Structure 1
């Protein structure tokens, strides 16, 4: 390592952020990456720990000690080469990944973990600034054609890897712009969409074609996505030598309680994409907004946090967030849980901007204002005994709610797409496909592969990139009989 004693000498340094009161006034990213000297000092904290558990913590198996050492030596060009060798899109993960690598960091046993995410963020931003991120077209073409259905992180990773292997790749996206959840799920203040656009340009330079506004599946299922052009799965199977399904986990978990059908009770993914479209310059009729409203967000994960940040920027009067589970501890028992992902209290940047959080709360019903709109919700407090949830007697309460956003996770991918392809599913409704070294990611239908949320269910961006890369290896092997693409 660059400095063996660095972890003893330097404290962890957080990236600087614009003050909450100021950043709520705009939709731009507000976190600054480290400067060169700060990144060097933070990289010096990486230990010569013998067994780098951060490798296992990172789903794409980033070679973290190596790029940390290169950053310490200020060899930025080699650092981005090492980072890109495992991760196609570190500008995405460096911004929105929760950093399971840091939870697994050996230094995290009894100190603050190495700031791996901030170093990754700095490396890729430096690479773009220096012009090192360029198209890498294949030296020769194989003549094979691959269709990728879905342009989220799994689809983009699979498409880029396959194009670099020499295959002719076409990405089909039902929305008007490519990017999937990156584009229409994550708010711009967390991920500026310019990062997606310049990657798309790089991929076009590598030969990838993008066909947006195209729904692959049954025509009856296309209406809920606007007016996209419809292509039947059989047409893709006839025209392409392999098809990769990389759609997201788009079926949200519902809350079937009295009053659910009232106006003003919506899924988070009805709310967030509209905000992203408006920020992108679109004009929407009857946009769902939080302006001047008492907002209640049900669900304590990242999607719920994004609803909080978006509501505050739209001018909500107040935002309350409910979580079904009890409040976790502020600090985990590290010797007990390390190197695994710990359950502890996490306060996001959106929470810092203004939010009343409440735990161990269940919603009993939504109450009508007499005109078919929600005016409040009735909830009850919970206690957990022997691993079971019990309502606390006499704890019911009512809270005003002009807008309720359901952000309780996603249960399955869009079933209509899997039905249209005739793909076998697992018990959770995902496409059934294994991950074994040979023949992995293949579904029950000939020539059809599945990766990302479509195969594993709701997960992280970094898992989607891993699945897309590994699926690309499997498709390349299927077409060529062997593959030099990394898994």
Structure 2
């Protein structure tokens, strides 16, 4: 606890963002920073709640409640309030290898289950987390810490996203020789290719990767396991293999006109833009350009939202984001969505704020189903046909979508981006190794154990659980490392 009555005395404050009309003209991070006195005041709002749900990390009603990493939130809030920033950094790193990532891109389920949020606004946990680690780098407190001795055991990690990096960091800390294989030309997985630069500057990813290199981890890029190197070869050459390849098989939509030009998968659009920006500042033109186009994004999740923000920075003529879900209420429903569940309420994400500032309204269209695409004489998409839908419970008790007569509509579109989720991991590596999969096609490995049906092979992150949050990926990477260390050494001191 910081102060007994701080949550009553001080109002929640978070950093201002750069003006939407300014930030859409560049690709830099859009969050501003708070001064130390403001941050200490925010730390003072952490109350003596007895049982802090903020770090529980449990799943309720299909969503996460609290921090899956079990971050020691009340402790470092108190340390920040007292001005003990170095100690706060130590407590933060105790449970989270990469707080500079989660502090920027995590949706903060910890705040949704904050006890102060029962009666008011929750503690600004995410803001304080980022401030702690950013100060750690500024002050030079975060330096390479290679292990004092090596075990002689060799571990291969496939995939360098948050799960792979967390697993590699922990296994290296235990003294094993770790090699990380990445099929892209840069390390980071979705942290590099997937999350736009305005949400997570790639220099921040590179900074952490360089630290891991200095600690002794070997990174190999432009190498896809299962294609460039047979998967079985890794099993033969290493003492253990950890699969953290993500759930990157994008879900498509099979409707009339899908073959038309100008219709692309969202990740192709996002990743090409990110790579072109990193390679040449977009000068090489090797990306799908939305400039002066009417853009439709099909899919109401984070990937679709990132497509909106990216299209705006390209200079699109208009952008609309379709979602099959209904518009959320303005306040938490105490019956359908009680605390400590993550609050399902209407908010404007960063991209929606930008579109509203540019075009005068929220770019989202809720409860919309795309029925068909229509093209012009050159085979290029020119419009979409949609219908309004509502979610009902059928006679068998299933929740289904029902079309609403009279809500048909035609939308103009020059560029369509499909962002309707992911079907699971790609199959090449799975089939080569003969890995068992679950009913959702993810690699089958028990949570907390992470062992697959193949000896020496472990799986973690989205490849095991399906598309999820960065914070879950780090959690699983850390826990998988613990189990690999136990497997190799007979016991483990990893958390």
For normalisation by structure 1, the TM-score amounts to: 0.95
1:223 — aligned with what? none
Instruction: Tell me the SS of whatever aligns to 1:375.
Output: strand
Question: Is it true that 1:383 corresponds to 2:394 in the alignment?
Answer: no
Paired residues for 1:70-109 under 5 Å: 70-109=79-118
1:22 — aligned with what? 22
Please point out which of 349, 370, 373 is paired with 1:366. Answer: 373
Instruction: Tell me the SS of whatever aligns to 2:127.
Output: helix
Give 1:344 deviation, angstroms: 1.8
- State the alpha-carbon separation in 1 of the partners of residues 219 and 208 from structure 2: 12
Paired residues for 1:106-121 under 5 Å: 106-121=115-130
Cα displacement string for residues 191-213 of structure 1 (whole angstroms, at most 9, x for unaligned residues):
00011111111101111000000
1:65 — aligned with what? 74
Give 1:4 deviation, angstroms: 1.1
The answer to whether the 8 A contact 1:431-1:455 is kept is yes
1:344 — aligned with what? 345
Cα displacement string for residues 169-225 of structure 1 (whole angstroms, at most 9, x for unaligned residues):
0000000000000101000000000111111111011110000000101x3xxxxxx
Long gaps (5+) in structure 2: 57-65, 356-361, 394-398
RMSD of aligned Cα (Å)? 1.1
1:166 — aligned with what? 175
Number of residue equivalences: 472
The answer to whether the 8 A contact 1:34-1:119 is kept is no
2:410 — aligned with what? 398
2:329 — aligned with what? 329
The answer to whether the 8 A contact 1:55-1:63 is kept is yes
Paired residues for 1:283-294 under 5 Å: 284=284, 286-294=286-294
1:433 — aligned with what? 445
- State the alpha-carbon separation in 2 of the partners of residues 427 and 435 from structure 1: 15
Which shows bigger deviation, 59-68 or 24-33? 24-33
Please point out which of 194, 204, 207 is paired with 1:185. Answer: 194
Cα distance change, pair 111–334 in 1 and its aligned pair in 2 (3 A): farther
Long gaps (5+) in structure 1: 220-229
1:225 — aligned with what? none
1:409 — aligned with what? 421
Instruction: Tell me the SS of whatever aligns to 1:184.
Output: coil
- State the alpha-carbon separation in 2 of the partners of residues 168 and 19 from structure 1: 46
- State the alpha-carbon separation in 1 of the partners of residues 318 and 475 from structure 2: 38
The answer to whether the 8 A contact 1:109-1:334 is kept is no
Give 1:325 deviation, angstroms: 1.2
- State the alpha-carbon separation in 2 of the partners of residues 295 and 111 from structure 1: 38
Question: Is it true that 1:459 corresponds to 2:460 in the alignment?
Answer: no
Give 1:473 deviation, angstroms: 0.1
Question: Is it true that 1:138 corresponds to 2:147 in the alignment?
Answer: yes
The answer to whether the 8 A contact 2:102-2:471 is kept is yes
- State the alpha-carbon separation in 2 of the partners of residues 400 and 23 from structure 1: 27
2:431 — aligned with what? 419
Cα displacement string for residues 382-416 of structure 1 (whole angstroms, at most 9, x for unaligned residues):
12233331111122110001111111111201111
The answer to whether the 8 A contact 2:272-2:286 is kept is no
- State the alpha-carbon separation in 1 of the partners of residues 30 and 72 from structure 2: 28
